[in-house]
């Protein structure tokens, strides 16, 4: 801070937003359309004492601004906003509350939960209509002015093509907190992500991107702290520009940059899970920390006829108002900041349906999508959406605009149900294996738009999916009433850990079969970090508040034979995916084109090698499916794959379908994961044990396969409904054509 503080601020400029050092001082700019005055509060070096308070001298186009000469990076500050306290009309100004800068690049300190951080009197008869005069500065963190630079020279974004992308979803803290080979202060931080041993693990797997759960600063909710728990996942954002301080081992933001740079050097992209649908301030009874105190009526979507209350399409108390140009600007500026300052390669948008809502509902032409699509920098990144929220019409899978990929929960549910042995799952599975064209083959979107996953941070791990019939969330202190009830899981004979050899064998087979299905499906696979080492959460499917060994990766178990074997198996699957062009198609296969003479780009068969008839598709008891895909590159090199799946309780012999003689190799069998590849004659069959799958692979030159390449006449598409339990939420567009050509008619 300056040695001698001036009496007043200079006028400064209304841009850029936030606090920016220009080498001679700091310019402050903050938006508020309804405030009557904004004050800048400056604190001493330790943040304990307010040493100056300045009214921002100018408001230009609803941006309040001022300039503090001689101020430098490291300056600690906050705001106080004056204006009407009129909740009935959406205004909640209270100058007694110190406010964080929405554009703060760094935050120092934690919220000390007390009644002072609320704008109203807790327990008052008039509830949030009352007014609290206590000063909250002692309980609030400080915004910090950032400066300096980082030497990015030589950093090159991996720019992995979507068709080659394999995502590893993980948590900065959880992935390394139990790493005994790291110094204690580095565990759970970005420094651990930069460690060569972690990067080597990713390399051995063959993944191309890490998707990190929220790393923007978030709150530790008081109701969790009171129960001895903590906000682990981080979906309760306190700042859209500042990183979570706990994830820095030495307090330097360069630690993030170093991690990103080292991952880039290893060819691995970094995708951030971001939460722009709501903030940590909650509903009308929540605290006043930043946006609410600066301009509640602009930052949040309020009920049109009762502006005291918040529209809550997120289930988290409030909804950010992206229809407001300044709020949309803040989100876009935040995204660009993470790209410019930290060189991240993409974003996964939590509750992406909310971001596309206008006053009339979800719109693929919403302002947020348009802003992203036209942005020359952001539009080139990997953009992934969670296509649902809690509001009306909040299930919009397949309805995002081109350029977006979407988490495909239909893939998750179908694969789980099939391998559990549910009836009538063969036809839905066929569509999921082929890229979910029934959802995504529109507006010239590509198969990579489907983010295929079986497990994610929200739900069971893969080990728990085959070990528990029911959730076991008692540790969360909510009476086991939180988390999903419909997990489509199966314990295969015993709830939780067991010494029964037969049950353990079945569990291992089903795990490997599901992993094989995931990594050999058309679309973009996402692997939940830790599934490759057999990580369990003891049946808890909602560990959002479990910042402990229940959630942290057990790397000691990873070095055991079970974990090591599963890791090798996953790595082999990813390597095979990389080798097979037909698994990474540039367009949706529909069985209409013979990419090789006598071999269509997509075909389905039963275990006898026969094409499936309408009656076969409608056979709800069938548990076997063979899917053949083929592809040829511009040089005439072709690959043909046959994925054989047996979800039944008995071993099945699969015969090869009629067609040209191909040099088949049994590339991998989930029941025998360590068995090397072996040739398979065209007249031979393959025994596929119960609860397992196999991949057959043939690499050929097109000119070595006799016969012409022809286009198969297009058949009338036939559809089916695989939305179990989602009929009320799924949009009509979700049942568009694009299913396998010989799938059954709807019931």
User: In this structure, what CATH number is given to the domain that contains residue 697?
Assistant: 2.60.40.1180
Whether 575 and 602 share a structural domain? no
Is pLDDT at 718 greater than 90 in this prediction?
A: no
Output the six-digit token pair for 109. Answer: 């300190």
Extended beta strands in 213-335, E state: 269-274
- pLDDT for residue 723 is more than 50: no
| pLDDT for res 595 | 87
Judged on CB neighbours under 10 Å (0-12, 13-18, 19+), 180 is exposed
Q: Tell me what pLDDT residue 557 has.
A: 86
Q: Which two tokens stand for residue 391?
A: 């509001």
Nearest to 114 by CA among 137, 94, 92: 137
pLDDT interval class at 197 (50, 70, 90)? very high
Position 310 scores a pLDDT of 98
- Cβ neighbours of 656 (radius 10 Å): 22
Domain boundary, last residue among 661, 682, 701: 701
Does residue 365 fall inside a structural domain? yes
Tell me the C-alpha to C-alpha distance, in Å, between residue 123 and each of 89, 127, 132, 220, 513.
22, 6, 11, 22, 55
For residue 82, the model assigns a pLDDT of: 98
Q: pLDDT band at 637, cuts 50/70/90? A: confident
Closest-CA residue to 171 (of 199, 213, 232, 216): 213
Question: 214-228, 418-432, 651-665, 707-721: which range is least confident on average?
Answer: 707-721
- On whether both 310 and 185 belong to a single domain, the answer is yes
pLDDT digits (tens, 9 = 90+) for 330-377: 999 999 999 999 999 999 999 999 999 999 999 999 999 999 999 999
Mean pLDDT of 85-103: 98
Tell me the sheet residues that pair with 69: 25
Rounded distance between C-alpha atoms, residue 412 and residue 691, angstroms: 17
Clarify whether 226 is annotated catalytic.
Answer: no
We report the CATH number of the domain holding residue 284 as 3.20.20.80
Structure tokens at 740: 């396998």
Residue 721 in tokens: 């409904």
Same domain, 102 and 174: no
Q: Mean of the per-residue pLDDT values for the chain?
A: 93
Buried (b) or exposed (e) across 263-292, using 16+ Cβ within 10 A? bbeeebbbbbbbbbbbbbbbebebbbbbbb
For residues 138 and 67, state if they share a domain: yes
Antiparallel, parallel or unpaired: β 382-385 and 404-408: parallel
| Tens of pLDDT, residues 689-701 | 999 999 999 998 7
Q: What is the pLDDT of residue 707?
A: 63
- The H-or-E segment that residue 3 falls in is none
Query: Residue for token digits 């007014």?
Result: 131
Inform me whether the pLDDT recorded for 734 exceeds 60. Answer: no
Q: What is the mean pLDDT of residues 160-177?
A: 98
Tell me, yes or no, whether 197 and 345 share the same domain: yes
Q: Determine, yes or no, domain membership for 269.
A: yes
Min mean pLDDT across 268-277, 366-375, 464-473, 588-597 is at 588-597
Report pLDDT digits (tens) over 215-270. 999 999 999 999 999 999 999 999 999 999 999 999 999 999 999 999 999 999 99
Query: How many structural domains is the chain composed of?
Result: 3
183 within 8 A of 57, measured Cβ to Cβ: no
Domain boundary (145, 174, 193) is at: 145
Average pLDDT value for residue range 415-427? 97
For residue 122, the domain's CATH number is 2.60.40.10
Q: Please write the tens of the pLDDT for every residue from 116-140.
A: 999 999 999 999 999 999 999 999 9
The tens digit of pLDDT for each residue in 513-565 reads: 999 999 999 999 999 999 999 999 999 999 999 999 999 999 998 888 999 99
Q: Is pLDDT of 636 > 90?
A: no
CA dist., res. 246 & res. 499, Å (int): 39
Q: Are strands 85-86 and 50-55 parallel, antiparallel or unpaired?
A: unpaired
Residues 605, 576 share a domain: no
- Are residues 438 and 325 part of one domain? yes
Q: How many residues does the chain have?
A: 747
Q: Round to whole Å and give the CA distance between 170 and 168.
A: 6
540 inside domain: no
Contact 401, 373 (CB under 8 A): yes
- The answer on pLDDT for 29 being more than 90 is yes
Same domain flag for 140 and 182? no
Question: Quick one: 239 and 267 in the same domain?
Answer: yes
pLDDT at 653 over 90: yes
Contact (Cβ atoms closer than 8 angstroms) between residue 103 and residue 93: no
The tokens for 102 are 């929405």
Gap between the Cα atoms of 730 and 344, Å rounded: 33
For residue 712, what pLDDT is reported? 46
Q: How buried is residue 512: exposed, middle or buried, by Cβ count under 10 Å (0-12/13-18/19+)?
A: buried
* Res 47 pLDDT > 60: yes
Q: Which stretches does DSSP call E strand in 598-733? A: 599-600, 602-605, 624-632, 637-646, 652-655, 665-669, 678-679, 685-688, 692-701
User: Are 400 and 432 members of one domain?
Assistant: yes
Q: Which of 345, 350, 547, 722 is catalytic?
A: 350
* Domain assignment of residue 339, yes or no: yes
Does residue 622 carry a pLDDT above 80? yes
Asked if residue 746 has pLDDT above 80, the reply is: no
The CA-atom distances, in angstroms, between 174 and each of 246, 331, 442, 540, 543 are: 12, 27, 38, 15, 11
User: Is 598 part of any domain?
Assistant: yes
Q: Domain ends where: 701, 722, 739?
A: 701
Whether 248 is covered by a domain: the verdict is: yes
**Sign of the dihedral through C-alpha 527, 528, 529, 534:** negative
Asked if residue 514 belongs to a domain, the reply is: no
Domain that holds residue 629: 591-701
Mean pLDDT value of segment 315-324: 97
Give yes or no: residues 119 and 172 share one domain.
Answer: no
The residue assigned the tokens 């206008």 is 358
Residue 739 pLDDT: 35
**In this structure, is residue 609 part of a structural domain?**
yes
Residues 555, 561, 562, 568, Cα dihedral to 10°: 90
Give rounded-to-5 percent helix, strand, coil for the chain. Answer: 25, 20, 55
- The conformation of residue 127, written as its DSSP 8-state character, comes to G
Domain identity same for 260 and 178: yes
Lowest mean pLDDT among 2-16, 73-87, 480-494, 667-681: 2-16
Model confidence at 709: pLDDT above 80 = no
Residue 386: active-site member? yes
Q: Which of 255, 269, 273, 386 is catalytic?
A: 386
How confident is residue 581, by pLDDT bands cut at 50, 70 and 90? Answer: confident
């Amino acid at each position: 801070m300056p040695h001698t503080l001036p009496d007043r601020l200079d006028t400064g400029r209304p841009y850029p937003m936030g606090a920016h050092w220009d080498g001679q001082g700091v310019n402050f700019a903050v938006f508020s359309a309804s405030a009557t005055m904004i004050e800048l509060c400056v604190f001493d070096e330790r943040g304990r004492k307010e040493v100056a308070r300045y009214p921002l001298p100018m408001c230009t186009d609803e941006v309040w601004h001022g300039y503090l000469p001689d101020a430098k990076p490291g300056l600690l500050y906050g705001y106080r906003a004056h204006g009407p306290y009129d909740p009935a009309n959406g205004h909640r100004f209270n100058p007694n509350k110190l406010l964080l800068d929405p554009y703060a690049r760094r935050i120092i300190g934690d919220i000390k939960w007390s009644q002072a951080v609320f704008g109203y009197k807790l327990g008052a008869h008039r509830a949030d209509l009352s007014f609290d005069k206590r000063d909250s500065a002692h309980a609030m963190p400080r915004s910090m002015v950032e400066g300096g630079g980082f030497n990015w020279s030589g950093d090159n974004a991996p720019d992995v093509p979507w068709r080659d992308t394999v995502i590893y979803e993980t948590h900065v803290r959880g992935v390394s907190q139990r790493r005994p080979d790291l110094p204690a202060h580095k565990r759970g931080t970005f420094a651990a992500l930069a460690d060569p041993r972690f990067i080597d693990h990713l390399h051995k797997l063959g993944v191309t991107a890490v998707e990190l759960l929220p790393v923007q600063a978030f709150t530790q909710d008081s109701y969790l702290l009171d129960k001895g728990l903590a906000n682990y996942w981080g979906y309760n954002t306190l700042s859209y520009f500042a990183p979570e301080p706990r994830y820095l081992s030495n307090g330097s933001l360069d630690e993030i940059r170093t991690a990103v740079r080292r991952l880039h050097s290893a060819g691995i992209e970094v995708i951030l899970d971001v939460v722009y649908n709501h903030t940590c301030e909650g509903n009308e009874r929540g605290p006043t920390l930043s946006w609410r105190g600066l301009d509640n009526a602009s930052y949040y979507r309020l009920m049109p006829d009762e502006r005291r209350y918040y529209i809550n399409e997120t289930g988290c108390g409030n909804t950010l108002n992206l229809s407001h140009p300044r709020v949309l600007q803040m989100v876009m500026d935040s995204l660009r900041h993470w790209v410019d300052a930290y060189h991240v390669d993409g974003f996964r948008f939590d509750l992406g349906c909310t971001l596309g809502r206008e006053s009339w509902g979800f719109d693929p032409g919403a302002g947020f999508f348009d802003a992203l699509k036209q942005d020359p920098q952001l539009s080139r990144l990997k953009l992934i959406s969670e296509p649902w929220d809690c509001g009306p019409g909040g299930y919009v899978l397949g309805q995002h605009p081109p350029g977006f990929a979407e988490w495909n929960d239909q893939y998750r549910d179908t694969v789980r149900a099939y391998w559990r042995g549910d009836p009538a799952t063969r036809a839905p599975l066929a569509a999921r294996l082929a890229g979910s064209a029934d959802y995504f083959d529109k507006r010239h979107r590509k198969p990579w738009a489907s983010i295929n996953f079986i497990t994610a941070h929200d739900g069971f791990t893969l080990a728990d999916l085959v070990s528990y019939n029911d959730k076991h969330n008692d540790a969360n202190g909510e009476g086991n009433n939180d988390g999903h009830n419909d997990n489509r899981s199966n314990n295969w004979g015993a709830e939780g850990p067991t010494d029964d050899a037969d049950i353990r064998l079945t569990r291992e087979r089903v795990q490997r079969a599901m992993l094989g299905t995931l990594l050999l499906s058309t679309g973009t696979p996402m692997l939940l970090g830790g599934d490759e080492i057999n990580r369990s959460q003891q049946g808890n499917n909602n560990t959002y508040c479990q910042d402990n060994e229940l959630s942290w990766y057990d790397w000691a178990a990873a070095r055991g034979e079970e974990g090591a074997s599963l890791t090798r198996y996953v790595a082999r699957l990813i390597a095979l995916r990389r080798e097979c062009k037909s698994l990474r198609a540039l367009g949706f296969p529909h069985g209409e084109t013979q990419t090789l003479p006598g071999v269509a780009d997509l075909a389905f068969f039963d275990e006898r090698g026969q094409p499936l008839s309408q009656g076969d598709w409608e056979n709800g008891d069938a548990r076997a499916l063979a899917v053949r895909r083929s592809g040829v590159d511009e040089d005439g090199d072709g690959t043909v794959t046959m994925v054989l799946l047996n979800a039944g309780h008995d071993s099945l012999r699969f015969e090869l379908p009629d067609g040209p003689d191909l040099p088949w190799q049994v590339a991998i069998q989930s029941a025998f994961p360590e068995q090397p590849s072996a040739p398979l004659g065209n007249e031979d069959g393959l025994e596929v044990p119960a609860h397992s799958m196999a991949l057959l692979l043939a690499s050929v030159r097109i000119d070595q396969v006799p016969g012409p390449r022809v286009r198969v006449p297009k058949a009338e598409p036939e559809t089916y409904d695989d939305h179990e339990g989602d009929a009320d939420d799924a949009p009509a567009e979700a049942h568009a054509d694009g299913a396998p050509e010989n799938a059954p008619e709807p019931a």
